[in-house]
Amino acid sequence: MKTKSLLISTFALTALCGGALFAAEGPKVGAPAPGFSLTDSHGRTHSLGEYKGKYVVLEWFNPGCPFVQKHYKSENMQKLQKEFTGKEVAWLTIDSSAPGEQGHLSPAEANQQMNDWKMNSTALLLDPTGKVGHEYGATNTPHMFVINPKGDLIYTGAIDNRPTAKVGDIPGATNYVQAALDEAMAGKAVATPTSRAYGCGIKYSD
C-alpha cells in the first residue's frame, strides 16, 4: 500500500507541475551527444564542442519546480556540482522554459537565482526557444544527461531512483548521475545508463 500511495502522489504532483514521467525520444546512449551553442546568464556563448575531452553533465532546470527545489533547497545538487566540477567535469544547467512560462529567467534573474541558491554549475545556459531541449528529448526538470570525453552520451534520465519532491528521500536514494560519473571515471561500464526522468514538465514554447 505504501508503494501504491507513493506512486499515486508522485503522479499527482507531476501532473500538477505539468510534467511527464516518461521521456520523449532523444539521443541514444552510446551515440554522439547533439552539438549545441547557448548563451549563459553572463552573456558568454558555450558550445558543447569546447568541452570535448571532458565529462559533461547537462541538467534541465526550472527553479519553480518542486522536484528541482528538493535537490537545491537541500543543497544536494550544489554538492554534486561542486564535487564534479572539482574533478574538471563541465556541469551545464539549462533553462528551456519559454518567455511567459513558469521557470523562464532573464539573464539578470538567472544570475540572481545562481547567487540565491549558491549554485556550483559551470554555467546556467538559457534556451528560451527550446531548441536544445527538443534536440535532447528533455521532458522534465530535472532531466539529466552525462557525456563522456569522446562526446558520447553515457547516461540519460532521472537524477535518482526516488521520484518524489520529498527532501527526506534523498539520503536513501541511488543517485544515477553520481554513479555514472564515478563508474565511467574509474574505467567501468555505467551500470544504469538509462532511467525514466521525473519532475515537472518543461514549459516549452511549442
Residue 206 lies in a domain: no
DSSP 171: T
Strand pairing report for 123-126 and 90-95: parallel
Alpha helices in the chain (DSSP H): 2-16, 66-73, 76-85, 107-116, 131-136, 176-185
Domain count, the chain: 1
* pLDDT digits 0-9 by tens, 187-199: 999 999 999 999 9
Q: Looking at the domain assignment, is residue 48 inside a domain?
A: yes
Mean pLDDT of the chain: 91
In terms of residue numbers, what domain contains 54?
2-201
pLDDT at 99: 96
CA angle (113, 92, 20) in 5-degree steps: 80
Cell (9 digits) for 26:
532523444
The whole-number pLDDT of residue 17 equals 57
pLDDT at 1 (0 to 100): 44
> Residues in the chain with pLDDT < 70?
1-24
The CA distances from residue 102 to 3, 93, 144, in Å, are 30, 16, 20
Strand partners, 40: 125
Does the residue 56 lie in any domain? Answer: yes
Helix (H, G, I), strand (E, B) or coil at 3: helix
Give tens-digit pLDDT for 42-72.
999 999 999 999 999 999 999 999 999 999 9
We report the CATH number of the domain holding residue 82 as 3.40.30.10
